[in-house]
């Protein structure tokens, strides 16, 4: 059974530099979407990857996009070679670590479009509603179209609530 909140808590505890994106971010903003993985955009610098590896090591992470499902090995040598993305299976569920997000750019650009939200696992950077809509639209996948409609409805509702609260 997936424990995506548990993975999130481990990343926060290890002080991994990341932003929650994708379906988990949509849920954090109020979407009724069901998500089966945790997508993050993270700093792919060696120091941050080593923190990521330490946070996940006893969850037996493997590269799920490789035929042999090779174990994740993050050390000075592998981190020096660099990664663009990591698509992982762990004992607690799937974790996608992305270096860039379509429609937004690299990690720094994504971080600038994030906000701090309390997700139950702690205070966490989450892609903003507007950033998430841009990213989902840029993906252009049919499965993202419904999510974009939901996110736009949430944005409209939040905007109306804010307008009502103004003196």
106: domain CATH number is: 3.30.460.40
pLDDT > 70: percent of the chain: 95
Identify whether the C-beta of residue 113 lies closer than 8 Å to the C-beta of residue 127. Answer: yes
Give pLDDT, residue 34.
Answer: 82
Domain count, the chain: 1
Identify whether the C-beta of residue 132 lies closer than 8 Å to the C-beta of residue 103. Answer: no
Give pLDDT, residue 162.
Answer: 66
Cross-strand pairs, 87: 96
Give the residue-averaged pLDDT of 125-147.
92
Q: What residue numbers bound the domain in which 126 lies?
A: 4-165
Give pLDDT, residue 163.
Answer: 64
Higher-pLDDT residue of 156 and 62 is 62
Q: What pTM does this model have? A: 0.90
Higher-pLDDT residue of 82 and 46 is 46
Give the residue-averaged pLDDT of 86-96.
96
- Gap between the terminal Cα atoms of the chain: 48
- Residue 50: closest CA among 38, 39, 42: 42
CA-CA distance, 122 to 117, in Å (whole number)? Answer: 8
CA-CA distance, 123 to 29, in Å (whole number)? Answer: 14
At 120, the pLDDT band (50, 70, 90 cuts) reads: confident
Mean pLDDT of the chain: 91
pLDDT at position 79 over 90? no
CA-CA distance, 126 to 21, in Å (whole number)? Answer: 6
At 157, the pLDDT band (50, 70, 90 cuts) reads: confident
pLDDT at position 71 over 70? yes
Listed range (12-21, 56-65, 103-112, 133-142) with the worst mean pLDDT: 133-142
Give pLDDT, residue 27.
Answer: 92
> Helices in the chain by DSSP H: which ranges?
4-13, 22-28, 46-56, 76-81, 107-112, 129-139, 142-165
Give pLDDT, residue 53.
Answer: 95
Under DSSP, is residue 65 helix (H, G, I), strand (E, B) or coil?
coil
pLDDT at position 13 over 70? yes
Give pLDDT, residue 167.
Answer: 67
């Amino acid at each position: 059974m997936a424990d995506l909140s548990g993975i999130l808590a481990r990343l926060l505890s290890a002080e991994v530099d990341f932003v929650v994106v994708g379906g988990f971010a949509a849920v954090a903003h109020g979407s009724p979407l069901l998500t089966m993985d945790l997508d993050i955009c993270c700093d792919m610098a060696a120091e941050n990857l080593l923190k990521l590896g330490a946070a996940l090591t006893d969850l037996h992470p493997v590269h799920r996009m490789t035929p042999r499902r090779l174990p994740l090995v993050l050390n000075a040598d592998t981190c020096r070679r660099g990664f663009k993305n990591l698509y992982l299976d762990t004992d607690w569920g799937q974790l996608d670590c992305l270096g860039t997000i379509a429609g937004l750019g690299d990690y720094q650009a994504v971080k600038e479009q994030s906000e701090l939200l309390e997700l139950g696992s702690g205070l966490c950077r989450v892609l903003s509603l507007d950033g998430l809509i841009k990213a989902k639209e840029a993906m252009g996948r049919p499965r993202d179209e419904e999510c974009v409609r939901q996110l736009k409805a949430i944005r409209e509702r939040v905007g109306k609530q804010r307008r009502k609260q103004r003196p």
